[in-house]
Amino acid sequence: MEHFLAAFANLLTPVPFLHVLMGTAAGVFVGAVPGLTGGMLIALTLPLTFYMDSTLAMIMLVGMYVGSVAGGLISATLLRMPGTPSSIMTTFDGYPMARDGRPERALGIGIGASFVGGITAGVILALLSPPLSRWATTFGPWEYFTMTLMAVVLIASLSQGSMMKGLLSGVLGMLVAMPGLNPADGQLRLTFGFHTLDAGFKLLPVLLGVFVMSQVIKEAVNILNRPERVTMGQASVFLRLSEWRRHWVNLLRSSVIGTFIGILPGVGSSISSMVCYATAKGTSKNPEVFGTGSEEGIVASEAGNNANVGGALVPLVTMGIPGSPIDAILLGALILHNLQPGPLLFINNPDIVWAMIDSYLLANVLMLIIMLFAVRIIAKVMYIDRVFLLPTIFVFCMVGSYSLGSSFFDAAAVIGFGILGYCLERAKIPLGPFVIGFVLAPILERELRSGLMLSDGSYLPIVTRPLALIFVSVSVALLLYPVITEKWRKRRNAAKQA
């Protein structure tokens, strides 16, 4: 409590407050522009934070994360085009409502739900993180190794599309992290004789390539695609408290579900939003209205996706495991600022962890204010022509990657990973597991190596240590689940036909 209050008091001083405000505002604007995502913004901003104070950098990035997820609601409602992938479910009801002449109400409901989802998750984040991090400090290398493995399997199995493609993406990300000098034994590996690969691929060029460049290429290919749009009228986006009364159960349920899905390592806010939407539809008295402009649908989707952001910060700050692909970038930011992510972060740098938690809560309040008062301006800005955006974004990518070590190799890597990311996406291979795999591979290898050294090369501790066994069992269950359900489905269909 003492750290929480101290960090909050510090956040309310002008400089930190301004950083959270700038981050949140930038996030909301970028989140609202179709084709630009929070991941892009945070990856592009990373190099600009090199010379900033670590706390200021982290709180600004957290603000961007919160703002970008919330901002996606505006384009989802007015353009039927989610500004961020997490707002896909909002398009189903937000756009029909807007087309029915109620865009302001749809936006008002979405903004309010985002706020409640965010604050609920913030409270859970603040309460759950300290005990969880204390618990995580008791982990040995085998527990850490199996938990990291579980995170990769989890994100692969829950990513959209086939699980095999999710796993393929995750393992490919891991492989990309392996070239260069192996710190454990000083051997060079997978450099193919190129000395530029001796240090391996740096995190930032990979992030910029996969998150930013691939999206830029995709937008360039679809440059002629202009979405339908609905313009806002003069009605107010403010809703009276009494109007929220009939939504409170849905609000609370979606916020809690969103938070706990976020806590699962590797699961992004798109999944939260879908689960909350499906739950709201399943428990609604009027499920037939969903998809035609249902207020309940917007509430569930927006509360769920914003709550996910807070939930996803839990494994990040307590165990150093990214809760979503954007959290993988935040993990990278911690590393770039010479902070060691993991359970000891809470012990060694409590000021930064609490600043991140408190800035998450503050960013949600600022997001509410910005979106309520500036929604009309944002709605105009989001129509900005991509012709001007795409070259500008690439210039920022180039500057960011080059400035890492004054090397054109890093800048070229951005283009290379951008092309790879674009091709993977076209082949319907999700990019989230790739980034998580890339970030987690060194941790996975380090812990496996430490575990094997402790057990004299034996893999037995995986089954003899209870927690490690649980994590491995969950991973195996996640891998087998789709295979078994598919077999059951086929058997049932065969029985029906017979």
Partner 1 sequence: MEQRKNAFEISVGIGLIVLCAAVLFESTNIGPPLYDPLGSAALPQMASVIIIAFSATMVFRALRRGRTLDGMVEPGSSVPSKPWIGLGFVALCISYLGLMATEITGFRTATILFVATSGILLAGFRPKAIAIVTLLALILGIGGRYLFTQVFYLDLP
Residue ranges that bind partner 1, judged by CB under 8 A: 47-48, 50-51, 80-81, 164-165, 167-168, 171-172, 174-175, 178, 182, 184-187, 189-190, 192, 216-218, 220-226, 385-388, 390-392, 394-395, 398-399, 402-403, 406, 408, 411-412, 415, 418-419, 422-424, 426-429, 441, 445, 448-449, 452-453, 456-457
User: Among residues 4 and 383, whose Cβ is nearest to partner 1?
Assistant: 383
Question: Nearest distance from residue 263's CB to partner 1, in Å?
Answer: 27
Residue 200 CA to residue 177 CA, distance in Å, equals 7
User: Among residues 124 and 382, whose Cβ is nearest to partner 1?
Assistant: 382
What token pair was written down for 486?
Answer: 């598919």
Residue 79 CA to residue 415 CA, distance in Å, equals 30
Question: Nearest distance from residue 52's CB to partner 1, in Å?
Answer: 9
Of 141, 136, 168, 137, which Cα lies nearest the Cα of 152?
168
Residue matched to tokens 């901002």: 71
Question: Nearest distance from residue 58's CB to partner 1, in Å?
Answer: 17
User: Among residues 317 and 398, whose Cβ is nearest to partner 1?
Assistant: 398
Backbone angles phi, psi at 428, to 5 degrees: 60, 35
User: Among residues 311 and 432, whose Cβ is nearest to partner 1?
Assistant: 432
Question: Nearest distance from residue 357's CB to partner 1, in Å?
Answer: 27
User: Among residues 428 and 492, whose Cβ is nearest to partner 1?
Assistant: 428
Question: Nearest distance from residue 64's CB to partner 1, in Å?
Answer: 17
Residue 188 CA to residue 182 CA, distance in Å, equals 6
Residue 53 CA to residue 181 CA, distance in Å, equals 30
Neighbours of 380 (CB within 10 A): 10
Residue 300 CA to residue 186 CA, distance in Å, equals 51
Question: Nearest distance from residue 382's CB to partner 1, in Å?
Answer: 17
Question: Nearest distance from residue 346's CB to partner 1, in Å?
Answer: 29
Residue matched to tokens 């674009």: 422
3-state helix, strand and coil shares in percent for the chain, rounded to the nearest 5 = 75, 0, 25
Of 169, 153, 204, 170, which Cα lies nearest the Cα of 39?
204
Residue 298 CA to residue 460 CA, distance in Å, equals 49
User: Among residues 50 and 135, whose Cβ is nearest to partner 1?
Assistant: 50
Residue 102 CA to residue 96 CA, distance in Å, equals 9
Question: Nearest distance from residue 341's CB to partner 1, in Å?
Answer: 21
User: Among residues 187 and 242, whose Cβ is nearest to partner 1?
Assistant: 187
Question: Nearest distance from residue 464's CB to partner 1, in Å?
Answer: 17
Cross-strand bridge partners of residue 180: 189
What token pair was written down for 244?
Answer: 């929220």
Cβ atoms 455, 461 nearer than 8 A = yes
Residue matched to tokens 């496996």: 448
User: Among residues 222 and 283, whose Cβ is nearest to partner 1?
Assistant: 222
User: Among residues 26 and 119, whose Cβ is nearest to partner 1?
Assistant: 26
